[in-house]
Amino acid sequence: MDHNVVGKSVRRLDAVAKVTGRAQYTDDFHERDMLVGKVLRSPHAHALVKRMDTSRAKALPGVVAVITPDDLPKIKFATAGHPWSLDPGHRDVEDRLILADKARFVGDAVAAVVAEDALTAEKALKLIEVEWEVLPHVLTAEDAMKEGAPLIHESRPGNVVSSFGVQFGDIEAELRGADHVIEGDYETSIVQHCHIESMSAFAYVDTDGRVVVNSSTQIPHIVRRIVAQSLGLPWGRVKVVKPYIGGGFGNKQDVCVEPLAAAMSLAAHGRPVRYCLTREEVFIDTRTRHAMKLHLKTAVTRDGELRGIHVQVLSNTGAYASHGHSIAMSAGGKFRPLYDFKAIKYEPRTVYTNLPVAGAMRGYGTPQIFFALESHLDDIARKLGMDPVALRLKNLIQVGHQDPLTRNVVRSFGIPECIRKGMEAIRWEEKRKALGRQDGPVRKGLGMALFAYASGTHPVALELAGARIVMNQDGSVTLQVGATEIGQGSDTVFAQITAEVLGLPVDMVHVVTTQDTDVAPWDSGAYASRQTFVTGIAVRKAALEVRAKVLQVAARRTGLNPDEMDLRDRKVVETSLGREVCALEDVAMDAFYDRILAAPITSDTSANVRINAMSYGATFVEVDVDTETGKVEVAEIWNVHDSGTIINPRLAEGQVHGGVSMALGYALLEQMLFDPQTGKPLNNNLLDYKLPTLLDTPKINAAFVETYDAAGSFGAKSLGECPVISPAPAVRNAVLDATGVAFHRIPLYPQAVFEKFREVGLTAQRSVEHV
Amino acid sequence: MDHNVVGKSVRRLDAVAKVTGRAQYTDDFHERDMLVGKVLRSPHAHALVKRMDTSRAKALPGVVAVITPDDLPKIKFATAGHPWSLDPGHRDVEDRLILADKARFVGDAVAAVVAEDALTAEKALKLIEVEWEVLPHVLTAEDAMKEGAPLIHESRPGNVVSSFGVQFGDIEAELRGADHVIEGDYETSIVQHCHIESMSAFAYVDTDGRVVVNSSTQIPHIVRRIVAQSLGLPWGRVKVVKPYIGGGFGNKQDVCVEPLAAAMSLAAHGRPVRYCLTREEVFIDTRTRHAMKLHLKTAVTRDGELRGIHVQVLSNTGAYASHGHSIAMSAGGKFRPLYDFKAIKYEPRTVYTNLPVAGAMRGYGTPQIFFALESHLDDIARKLGMDPVALRLKNLIQVGHQDPLTRNVVRSFGIPECIRKGMEAIRWEEKRKALGRQDGPVRKGLGMALFAYASGTHPVALELAGARIVMNQDGSVTLQVGATEIGQGSDTVFAQITAEVLGLPVDMVHVVTTQDTDVAPWDSGAYASRQTFVTGIAVRKAALEVRAKVLQVAARRTGLNPDEMDLRDRKVVETSLGREVCALEDVAMDAFYDRILAAPITSDTSANVRINAMSYGATFVEVDVDTETGKVEVAEIWNVHDSGTIINPRLAEGQVHGGVSMALGYALLEQMLFDPQTGKPLNNNLLDYKLPTLLDTPKINAAFVETYDAAGSFGAKSLGECPVISPAPAVRNAVLDATGVAFHRIPLYPQAVFEKFREVGLTAQRSVEHV
């Protein structure tokens, strides 16, 4: 395909705003007479408030309001950032109040203070007297499911949010008839998003009596709905504004602070109140990535044909459901369209515990499932004496594959080419040969892993996106979307799609980057790597509508049939001759100022996208493992992606850099730790929580295999979350390759690695034979 | 007609915002690092800058930029707030630069300073050294047209902006054949709008490289175009935002401060710069109402049939054209569809002088022409010995009248009823009888006058309006218009129209009151009393589109034919049975969340309104004239309006109160004075300029004759400017009635009245016989 703007590394639209510091984030806005809200958090993992005395807090000068659960509507609501469903059985679990009537984890918010300044608010919190009845608590899914375990939510006996699973084929038959049945246990840790910008909102009641919430969110239209639900307001009486966002990674696909911010303002008679979490609060009272324990049991033939797999998952969702079981189900759906299993049985359980709440985080279950699956495949290969790449190549699905459960069809499948490209890039064969027999303290190893991901949530959830384009008098256009730029570069991609359709340079597409739910078209927001794919379809549709209107006006001017004209380089051209018919500006001016026919050219449209496209990719990695210290160093890493057409290579590369860096933290360093006795967080700050810094991050290499997927705009598929999925198992497999030691839990941080080496008797002196 | 919301005095949408002080005006917004811009003004009425030395000003610490004409593009532009015309012959006169290269009036801006604060900017202005070559100047139209008069603009020899006129019928034949030819001279003064909020703007260059201007304007989309034109930018690279506005009255239908504000920001490397005029600057460097001299010559039969009229107008437009000749032409157009003249010859001349620039002001030429015409009719009645009401009634046009020049058809004509209602209200007959013979110092008199006005500018200019409606999930809607709420209540009227069509209470229509040209539909803005009529048609069209979509979804739900359903009280009903089919909210929820058919209900539309509707009305007034002091007191005043259907009676009454108050200032007190030798303003401040305060204002009575005009939304016609037109001649006629003295010039301030009485020999002792 020959494109003018699509496929080019145009500069991101917000580049200047961000590097000059002029981009305004939620905390950069100030309302007159703004108050500060702070929250009283439970020191206990599980406890009842027997009595709460707020009188001393209320009496403190500068305190405007003290809010307890009794002051708020008793409406249970769900916080997950999903579009509403008309089907009650398809909605998220409604298990929380704005302030908890019972603390379910250390940090659960049980009261709030609104004051003239932060210091006064903090002081007032200390003056609230609480008499607690401490309850027994559980921190692991296993403990939570035990007979007699304390009940965290009355509505869920056994603390299981859901154990709904899926299957197809005859897994029992496959396991019975297999040459080998290979089992493995894999485990991931709780990690946090660590977006640079905190979770923050401010709210006020406007002079129309509506509740206005400005928020650092990925999902303004959903925030609007959930704030209204939580307060029992008509949805139209809430307005949400999303300014520039400093990262979200799924954490801001949840409605964590906005209902309370709104409640704080209502308690303060509508005055503006800012509720901004400290970093310590972000760690414990926003969302985390679910820790999962996965048991995989695979039927395989002696020559490596994967016949069937039985996956059991235990997912620890913490004290409230949030996205809960959706994440385990997402994991179960996204790994299927990759290997041609004849039977799959997927048995997940999502379980409440007295820990901070797990929710959406980049990858949405796939970093867990692919860590397990891709580690497991290397374990199988090793058992069969097969090359791990050969095992995978043997079992891949093919283009045209239709998922037996979702009925999604794979229209593009670049995995074979991703593997070829990745092997070539890292010089796989050459290095494998060179590794040979290794002695000495530092061992080198090569690893790889594959992944599959979707583009949006169809058919699980509604995929509705809106776009509005208005043509200006100079032929430039203004584009509005409800989809949110949160740093990933979506505004730039939408501008490119629009420019491509309309024959414009990209700087003639002006994108409104702030979403205000009053004027921004409806869109569910930034998640599920959906925007380039789903919103891209809406943007392209709007641009095509504008194009059709332009050609109609041009036809009026020229007498030519609209079908015989095209838009190129700010001109209307007669397609067959390539001849300029008129400038686009002339058409725009006619549309605005023709005395008889004036009608500005606009499109305000939406697309309900009922199709999905699977994205794919592979990580290839070389590691150096220090057997004496347990330190794993990534010497070289390649992520090769099939995300269909790459609309903007530089932005795509940036996504891969960020995602791989995040994945290496997941693989090697990060985990949230809790005191097993009390459930108290041990490292909820950026000093103790080991997020990789730039100095910890190796050079990250990105490569792309550009397939064309007919479902997407210009053939594009998802990319945003993809890079985060396969590095962890690839690293783990490289460590296996380097040391012969199969790790089953991440992160592979030095202490854990060192202890495991001790356990299996690996020392610097024991050599490893490469297979 | 039976309406639910239309015709009701619903509370204005901005009531709470305004009475609580929370409404934010241009000066309430603050940008980080905002600078202040100030202007160096000419002390001479006509002078060339021979040399300007800005070096000392530039060297002053805190000065960021000093701008002279040489620093700016040499692009002449027009400032009048009219939609652009594709016909070059139909555009406003392009006669000015952002900063003048030659001063044409005292106060003309010849240089500007941008500084860190206002004090520094003022100091810097004093450090600019200018060597002037003072030129001879002219202050009156007559002087300006004299042989050898100084040439104000090189492109206009003789200083005449235009002398284009119109005529129909054979005026010479009518004058020749008339029983009487009666002539009269009438003169009006220069007055100023005196909106509470100053003329103010701030501008910056955004990180997209676009020029953003926040401005207190009636015409944001036109400001966008003119700022771009003045700076030679593509129009799409300018964005204009209009927040709450504290009054405009036509002054803000001109682009006075925005190009310079933008230029100031560009000179300061894109930093935000505020340019806010002082009251003294508003008086001299925004716009005024044209002073006109009118000579009327009327052919009339002995029994009072008005056969033909020859009107000659001399209109003093000051130093730049601005709206210039449009205003004289508007005067010539709007008085025609009232009396059934067989021939009219209208000869206006608009002339440059070395005075502040005249432009649009409430009434747009009609306060001048109707002062002349309605005074003239009383003079004729007196000459013929006729009752002035009888003379008017005898000559009225009738419904169906078509203007021979505009081809506009009069579809509703409430004047006879307005006269009946006004006479009854003021007890005309009873009081006339009671007046009898008056002696003593204070004389009572009754006067009346009629007027006609249009609803918008069709067919003179384009009448294009846009509206966008989005239905929220609760069935409420958000309405966006490009039309501007400037205090007149238009947002409330649009909400009522929308609510009426959609069967909603008005508080379920959320109107976006801020116009941001990026997202607000295109509309030319608030002028020509056009918005209820023109934009109302667009709003109703958008609401009807939304209604049709709602009924389609309801049809899908119910199987009923959309034509058989209606929207009432937040419900879809089966029209014939009055039976509720479903809640509107159910339809909205389907539109957002139906998994197959989801498509949010929106309308983004425009209307090119190619029809006009004449509004009418009458003033009836009783005055007390103190023959010893010259003081004229209004004892009772009624304005009776035919503005078609009144959408909101309370707001309509408010318009009449404001307009009549303004008209009484025009009639009795206000005039801008200039030193005849130097052209320097003598009273450009609110102490010396005699604007009536509340204490100067009598009780004002408003009444309405509700005709139904098929051209408008729900039968509505214009009202905004109407109340300002007829009070001045009515007062003048009442003074004539009281004293027998015919005044030919306003204002009738005590000194002028006193001197005229001296001149004609009227004393407290000389009695007056009422006719």
Rounded to a whole number of angstroms, the distance between the first and last alpha carbons of chain B is: 43
Name the residue among B209, B462, B512 with its Cβ closest to that of A598: B462
Question: What CATH number corresponds to the domain at position A620?
Answer: 3.30.365.10
The shortest CB-CB distance from A16 to any of B86, B207, B480 is to B207
CA B46 to each of CA B49, B100, B459, B674: distance values in angstroms, whole numbers, following the listed order: 10, 11, 37, 14
Tens digit of each residue's pLDDT (9 = 90 or more) over B306-347: 999 999 999 999 999 999 899 999 999 999 999 999 999 999
Token representation of residue A576:
């067959």
Query: What per-residue confidence (pLDDT) applies to B436?
Result: 76
Asked if residue B624 and residue B485 are part of one domain, the reply reads no
Contact B602 A599 (CB under 8 A): no
Q: How many CA atoms lie within 13 A of B336 on its CB side?
A: 26
With a CB-CB cutoff of 8 Å, which residues 227-286 of chain A face chain B?
A: 234-237
Q: DSSP letters of A570-636?
A: TEEEETTTTEEEEEHHHHHHHHHH-TTT----EEEEEEE------EEEEEEEEEEEETTT--EEEEE
Of the three residues B608, B643, B670, the one that is the final residue of a domain is: B608
Whether residues B680 and B764 share a domain: the answer is yes
For B398-435, write each residue's pLDDT tens digit: 999 999 999 999 999 999 999 999 999 999 999 999 88
Mark yes or no for CB contact B510/A522 under 8 Å.
Answer: no
Calpha distance B203→A766 (Å, rounded): 72
Are residues A538 and A480 part of one domain? yes
Nearest to A606 among B86, B475, B600 (CB): B600
**Cross-chain Cβ contact B474/A595 below 8 Å:** no
B426: which 2 tokens? 């003021």
Domain co-membership, A411 together with A501: no
Residues of chain B positioned with their CB less than 8 A from the CB of A90: none
B604 touches chain A (CB under 8 A): yes
d(CA A464, CA A527): 13
Q: Do B522 and A600 touch (CB under 8 A)?
A: yes
Could you identify the residue written with the tokens 């609230």?
A128
Q: Which residue of B has its CA nearest to A23?
A: B207
Which tokens in the block code for residue A682?
């041990």
- Judge whether B622 lies within some domain: yes
Residue B148 lies in a domain: no
pLDDT tier at B766, thresholds 50, 70, 90: low
A570/A616 same-domain check:
no
Q: What is the ipTM of this complex?
A: 0.96
- Say if residue A453 is in the same domain as residue A496: no
**Are B615 and B624 in contact, with CB atoms under 8 Å apart?**
no
B-chain residues near A22 (CB < 8 A): 207
pLDDT of res. A77: 98
Q: Do A608 and B596 touch (CB under 8 A)?
A: yes
Q: To the nearest whole number, what is the mean pLDDT of chain B? A: 97
Q: How far apart are CA A259 and CA A224, in angstroms?
A: 9
Give residues 137 to 156 of A whose Cβ lies within 8 Å of B: none
Q: Flag if A593 and B13 touch (Cβ within 8 Å).
A: no
Residue A578 class from Cβ within 10 Å (0-12 exposed, 13-18 middle, 19+ buried)? Answer: exposed
To the nearest whole Å, the CA of A303 is away from the closest chain B CA by 44
Tell me the three state secondary structure of residue B69: helix
At B438 the pLDDT is 78
The separation between CA A694 and the C-alpha centre of its own chain, rounded to angstroms, equals 22
Q: Which residues pair with A134 in a beta bridge?
A: A47
* Mean pLDDT along residues A45-53: 97
* CA distances, A350 to each of A95, A319, B198, B579 (Å): 14, 11, 63, 47
- Alpha-carbon span A352 to A322, nearest angstrom: 11
Give the distance from CA A553 to its chain's centroid.
Answer: 43
Q: How confident is the model over A83-141, as pLDDT tens digits?
A: 999 999 999 999 999 999 999 999 999 999 999 999 999 999 999 999 999 999 999 99
**Chain B 606-665, CB below 8 Å of chain A: which residues?**
606, 608, 610
Residues A612, A457: Cα–Cα separation, whole Å: 8
pLDDT tens per residue across span A653-674: 999 999 999 999 999 999 999 9
Average pLDDT rounded to a whole number, residues A586-612: 97
Specify if B213 maps to a domain. yes
**Which of B586, B608, B630 represents a domain boundary (last residue)?**
B608
**Nearest neighbour of A604 by CB, restricted to B473, B590, B602:** B602
Q: Assess whether pLDDT exceeds 70 at residue A544.
A: yes
| In a domain? residue B161 | no
3-state SS, residue A382: helix
On whether both A346 and A250 belong to a single domain, the answer is no
Confidence of residue A763 (pLDDT cuts 50, 70, 90): confident
Q: Which of residues 480-519 of A touch B (CB under 8 A)?
A: 480, 507-508, 510, 512, 518-519
pLDDT digits (tens, 9 = 90+) for B655-707: 999 999 999 999 999 999 999 999 999 999 999 999 999 999 999 999 999 99
State the total domains in chain B: 3
Chain A, chain B: beta-carbon pairs less than 8 Å apart: 150
Q: How far is CA B307 from CA B183, B302, B340, B383, B410, in A?
A: 14, 11, 8, 16, 20
Q: Is residue A155 part of a domain?
A: no
Residues B20, B338: Cα–Cα separation, whole Å: 44
pLDDT at A764 over 70: no
- Residue A248 host element (H or E): none
Among the candidates B608, B623, B648, a domain finishes at B608
B437: phi then psi, degrees, rounded to nearest 5: -95, 125
Which candidate from A210, A237, A512 shows the least CB-CB separation from B518?
A512
Q: Which of A104, A121, A33, A119 is nearest to A69 (CA)?
A: A104
Q: Is the peptide bond before B459 cis (omega within 30 degrees of 0)?
A: yes
Residue B667 contacts by C-beta under 8 Å, 6 or more apart in sequence?
A: B727, B728, B731, B732, B746, B747, B748
3-state secondary structure of A184: strand
Residues A126 and A201 in one domain: yes
Q: What is the mean pLDDT of residues A42-70?
A: 98
Burial state string for B232-269 with b = 16 or more CB within 10 A and e = fewer than 16 = ebebbbbbbbbbbbbbbbbbbbbbbbbbbbbbbbbbbe
Structure confidence by residue, pLDDT tens digits, A216-268: 999 999 999 999 999 999 999 999 999 999 999 999 999 999 999 999 999 99
Looking at the fold, whether A279 and A302 belong to one and the same domain comes out as no
Contacts with A278 (C-beta within 8 Å, 6 or more apart), sequence order: A198
SS3 content of chain B, % helix, strand, coil (to 5): 30, 25, 40
Q: What is the pLDDT of residues B504-562, one digit of tens each?
A: 999 999 999 999 999 999 999 999 999 999 999 999 999 999 999 999 999 999 999 99
Q: Is residue A158 part of a domain?
A: no
Contacts with B442 (C-beta within 8 Å, 6 or more apart), sequence order = B624, B625, B626, B627
From chain B, the residues in CB contact with A474 under 8 A are: 234-237
Chain B contact set for A462 (CB, 8 A):
593, 595, 598
* Nearest residue, CB atoms, A235 vs list B462, B474, B512: B474
Residues of A in contact with B510 (CB under 8 A): 208, 210, 236, 518
pLDDT tops 80 at residue B437 = no
Q: Which of residues 520-579 of B touch A (CB under 8 A)?
A: 521-522
Domain of residue A229: give its range. 31-135+194-285
Burial class (CB in 10 A: 0-12, 13-18, 19+), A430: exposed
What's the pLDDT tens digit per position in B376-401?
Answer: 999 999 999 999 999 999 999 999 99
Query: How sure is the predictor about A768, in pLDDT bands with cuts at 50, 70 and 90?
Result: low
N- to C-terminal Cα separation, chain A: 43
The rounded distance, in Å, linking the Cα atoms of B336 and B316 is: 22
Q: Could you write out the three-class secondary structure of B669-686?
A: CCCCCECCCCCCECCCCC
Flag whether residue B134 sits within 8 Å of chain A, measured between CB atoms.
no
In angstroms, the CA B629 to CA B635 distance is: 17
What are the start-end ranges of the H helices in A458-610?
490-502, 536-558, 584-593
Cβ of A473 and B225 within 8 Å?
A: yes
Collect all residues with Cβ–Cβ distance below 8 Å to A420 and sequence separation of at least 6. none
Interface contact B208-A518, CB threshold 8 A: no
Q: Evaluate whether residue B537 is within a structural domain.
A: yes
Name the minimum distance, in Å, from the CA of A64 to any CA of chain B.
20
So what's the pLDDT on residue B764? 65
pLDDT higher than threshold 80 for residue B586: yes
A585 plus A681 within the same structural domain: no
B293 vs B328: CA distance, rounded Å: 11
Which chain A residues have a beta carbon less than 8 Å from that of B600? 464, 466, 521-522, 606
Contact, B6 vs B714, CB < 8 A? yes
- The residue behind tokens 């003290």 is A66
The answer on A381 and A247 residing in a single domain is no
Residues of A in contact with B512 (CB under 8 A): 518-519
Show the 3-state SS of B174-212. HHHHCCEEEEEEEECCCECCCCCCCCEEEEEECCCCCEE
CATH number of the domain bearing residue B37: 3.90.1170.50
Determine the pLDDT at residue B695. 93
Between CA A324 and CA A347 the distance in angstroms is 15
A126 and A90 in a single domain? The answer is yes
Q: How many residues does chain A have?
A: 771
Which residues 201-230 on chain A approach chain B with CB closer than 8 angstroms?
206-210, 225
Q: Do A210 and B510 touch (CB under 8 A)?
A: yes
Nearest-Cα distance to chain A for B303, in Å, is: 44
Helix (H, G, I), strand (E, B) or coil at B494: helix
What confidence category does residue A1 fall into, taking pLDDT thresholds of 50, 70 and 90? low
**What SS3 class is residue A498?**
helix
Residue B771, pLDDT score: 47
Q: How far apart are CA B67 and CA B44, in angstroms?
A: 20
For residue B346, tell me if it sits in a domain: no
Q: Please check the confidence at residue A731 and state whether its pLDDT lies above 50.
A: yes
